[in-house]
Structure 1
């Protein structure tokens, strides 16, 4: 199933309606496609407030907290080097959080295979690959070179019945015509209510950052979930949420 929205809010709400109205609590597979440069819907602020209240009631992270695991927007003032250095400085505190015991998405993107002692900053590599380095490396626009992984089989292939991380597997930055860029993200499993909206916000923030560093403009995000589940709420709660906002889509 492919669901398109002119914004994150519209796309997420359309998916919630499909699941709430359906006979199953999951869709497999699901592609959420949303535009990134349109004006935000009038109802977005209210919906995000209501969703954050719902997330709090079921002991889940807020939209903003989930989004920051993919890209810490609060650290993004300045150039790429500043962002990476700022996160390096706070990582010793971030990793102490029990929710990060298996890893952290942004850390994987800028310090992949950290345990080897030679961490790879995949985002820096992609930026330098696309732009080139004056006097050292010519620009390379091969799209297969613009991919960053978050799944590391050396530590993520386990026999645990439940693990919880990483659901996000990889992120692809795809240049388009006329200086545009789209971001494609692949999830093995995604929970629509618990983390879906925050995932979309984090991916959009990451995409805007990378597009800016690559001299492009993000205009589209595709989030591919091999399995999308409603999450830690029942259908009746989803239906109540939908009742208030269905009129907007």
Structure 2
């Protein structure tokens, strides 16, 4: 089994390191199992590098990385809202229209966070719940752990509680491929007042999705931390199955830093 752990300071360095771990002579399929990518500052990346990557993506008819990131966190919409309540309400009103776009038939990741499938017509606003719980923890309120499966409170107290956002809907998401590849996101508050996030993907396509996903997850983490009055910590992304897809010949110069991409 080919696996690896990458620890880097920003999105660009982490993505490059992960791709290079997959692009090895002893790994002809360019795949890995149970891979881990840890990013110290997931809100930072190299804009020049991203522009070059997007140039190659556009030539292959893929969406820009910014579009991928917005499915996890709509930063432009959030900037126009007063807080998470308004953000969730406005996104839920937009959601039926967003689902009409190609590729969104089953919804979007952020849609699952603010309108998780439930008995109520509006769904469950997991985003608001996580922010409230983190605020309570930071204020020293007696809190128990919150698990991502049913967003329920457990029976034992912990000094460093966690909260989670569930994406996968049991009994509804039955496809072997496609949405949602992201299963859930967990948030942990450490003793220094920093919120860390861990995201679990059943599969991760490095060229098609990973760079944009890292950006979106980092922005989501930063937003949650800010709204809870806390500092943003690290992002850890785990993939059950990772694959370096895409035009590897054109990608290698960018991964090695030897030249610009030739789209």
Q: TM-score range by the shorter chain?
A: 0.7 to 0.9
Matched, 1:243 2:256: yes
Distance 1:139 1:216 in 2: 18
1:98 counterpart SS class: coil
- 1:183 corresponds in structure 2 to 197
Q: Please report how far the alpha carbon of residue 170 of structure 1 lies from its aligned counterpart in structure 2 after TM superposition.
A: 0.1
- 1:135 corresponds in structure 2 to none
Matched, 1:36 2:41: yes
What are structure 1's unaligned runs of at least 5 residues?
Answer: 133-137
* Range with greater deviation from structure 2 (141-150 or 206-215): 141-150
Distance 2:31 2:237 in 1: 15
Q: Say if 1:115 and 1:229 are closer, same or farther in 2 by CA, change over 3 A.
A: farther
- 1:209 corresponds in structure 2 to 223
- 1:152 corresponds in structure 2 to 169
What are structure 2's unaligned runs of at least 5 residues?
Answer: 148-161
Distance 2:89 2:55 in 1: 33
Within 5 A, what are the aligned runs for 1:87-166? 87-114=91-118, 117=121, 119-132=123-136, 140=143, 142=145, 144=147, 146-158=163-175, 163-166=177-180
CA RMSD in angstroms comes to 2.3
Question: TM-score w.r.t. structure 2 length?
Answer: 0.82
Q: Say if 1:72 and 1:11 are closer, same or farther in 2 by CA, change over 3 A.
A: same
Deviations, residues 93-130 of structure 1 (Å, cap 9, x unaligned): 21110210122100111111157535111111122233
Q: Say if 1:114 and 1:100 are closer, same or farther in 2 by CA, change over 3 A.
A: farther
* Range with greater deviation from structure 2 (123-132 or 221-230): 123-132
* Range with greater deviation from structure 2 (70-79 or 116-125): 116-125
Q: Please report how far the alpha carbon of residue 37 of structure 1 lies from its aligned counterpart in structure 2 after TM superposition.
A: 7.3
CA contact (8 A) 2:88 2:114 kept: yes
Distance 2:100 2:247 in 1: 32
Higher relative contact order, chain-length normalized (CA < 8 Å, sep 6+): 1
* Range with greater deviation from structure 2 (164-173 or 8-17): 8-17
Deviations, residues 218-242 of structure 1 (Å, cap 9, x unaligned): 12000001111112x1432332332
Q: Which has the higher helix share?
A: 1
